[in-house]
Amino acid sequence: MKPKRVTNNIFQLDKRKPPWFNVIEKNIDYKRIKVGVVNINPRLDFDDISVYEQLEALYPQVEYVSIDFDHVDENLKWKDLFPTWIDEDEKYGHPKCIDLPMPIWESYRDVNVIVAKVPCGKGNKDVFMLQVNLVVANLAVESGWVMEFDSYEPVYVVFIGSCSPMVDIFRCDDLLFHESNEFWVYKPDLVSLRQKMLMPFGTCQLAPSYAEKD
C-alpha cells in the first residue's frame, strides 16, 4: 500500500505551520513537542534559516534543539566502509569498521520529533549521507526506547529537502507522507530500527554473534 500524498486539505489546517508539522500534529498525542534538528545549519546554507524561523513560530507548542556531532573525515571513502573483501577467517586480525562520529546521546534523549536534511552528495555512496542517516536513526531509538519496559514511545522523523533518506534504514512501510522534493514523514518501527542499529553499518566487519552482543 502506497503512502498517502499530502493533500490541500492538510495544508489548509494552518498555513502558518510548515506542511510536515501538520502531518505530525495529526498523529502525535503530546501537547508539548520537542524537536531535534539534524544537519540543518543556516551558517552553511542560507535556505536553512527558514526551518528555524518555522520552529520559532511554533513556540510554545514546540521546543527544538540542534543535534551536535562531528562530521565524518572528508577523506573517508565508501570503499573503506564497504570493501570488496573481508578477512572472514581473521587471518590478519579481527576486522573493524571505522567509527563514524555520533552525538553524545545523553544530551538528546528526550526528543519526540526529528527534523533532518540529507546531504546531496555523491549519489548513494556518500559517507556523510550515511552518517546523517545513522545519526537520525540512532537518535530516534535513543529517544523512544523505554529501557525498564523494553518498549518504546513513538518518535516521528521528518526529512526535508530534495534528497531522500536511505531506504535500507528508513523503510517504506514506516512512511506516513511524502511530498515530492519537499519532505518525508516517518513513524519508524523502533524495534526494527534498533535491531538495525545494533548491526555493523558496513561490510568492513562481520555481524557479531549473539554471544558477543551479550
Summarize pLDDT for 182-191 with one digit per residue, the tens: 999 999 999 9
User: Which of 179, 173, 188 shows the shortest CA–CA distance to 139?
Assistant: 188
Asked whether the beta carbons of 40 and 49 are under 8 A apart, the reply is no
**Which 3 state secondary structure label does DSSP give 65?**
strand
Residue 209's pLDDT is 41
Q: Give how many domains the chain has, as a whole number.
A: 1
Residue 77's pLDDT is 85
Cell of 60: 510554545
The whole domain housing 151 covers: 8-70+100-199
**Residue 183 placed within a domain:** yes
Give residues with Cβ within 8 angstroms of 110, minimum separation 6: 34, 143
CATH code, domain with 137 = 3.40.50
Task: Give the span between the Cα atoms of 39 and 128, in whole angstroms.
Answer: 10
Spell out, as residue ranges, where the chain has pLDDT lower than 70.
1-15, 44, 84-97, 122, 147-150, 200-214
**Residue 37 placed within a domain:** yes
Residue 37's pLDDT is 97
